[in-house]
Amino acid sequence: SYELTQPPSVSVSPGQTARITCSGDELPKQYAYWYQQKPGQAPVVVIYKDNERPSGIPERFSGSTSGTTVTLTISGVQAEDEADYYCQSAPTSGTSLMFGGGTRLAVL
C-alpha cells in the first residue's frame, strides 16, 4: 500500500538549518503539504502545494520537491520551532488523503 515515509527525528542547534524529508512513490504526481504540531495543540499548516507559505507563517519555512522526495526546510531554526512535523498528500481526485508518520524536531 502507498505510504509517506519521514525520519522519526531530526536535531539541530538554534540558528542552523533543519531539513525534514518525506518520501513517497506518488509524490511526483501529487502536491505535498506540511504541518507543525506542538504538544496539546492541533496541527497548523506551514507549507501547502509543495512550496507555498500561508499568511502568518515565517519566511524561514520553505518547501521543495525532487522526484519522490519532498523536503521541509527551516532556516535559522528557533527554539519555538521545536515540534512534530507531518507531511501530507493526496491524489488530485481527493479520494484518499494520507499523512506521513511524523518527524520530531529537537532544537538542542
Partner 1 sequence: QVQLQESGPGLVRPSETLSLTCSVSGGSISGHYWSWIRQPPGKGLEWIGYVYHSGTTYYNPSLKSRVTILLDTSKNQFSLKLNSLTAADTAVYFCARIPLFLEWYFDYWGQGKLVTVSS
Q: Would you tell me which residues interact with partner 1 (CB under 8 A)?
A: 31, 33, 35, 37, 41-45, 48-49, 54, 86, 88-90, 92, 94-102
Which cell goes with 72?
521541509
Q: Residue 104 Cβ, how far from partner 1 at the closest point, in Å? A: 11
Indicate the Cα dihedral angle 23, 50, 35, 13, nearest 10°: 80
Whichever of 12 and 44 has its CB closer to partner 1, that residue is 44
Angstrom distance (rounded) from CA 40 to CA 67 = 34
Q: Residue 98 Cβ, how far from partner 1 at the closest point, in Å? A: 7
Whichever of 12 and 90 has its CB closer to partner 1, that residue is 90
Q: Residue 52 Cβ, how far from partner 1 at the closest point, in Å? A: 10
Whichever of 13 and 58 has its CB closer to partner 1, that residue is 58
Question: In 1-108, at which residue ranges do the beta strands (DSSP E only) sit?
Answer: 9-12, 18-23, 32-37, 44-47, 61-66, 69-74, 83-89, 98-99, 103-107
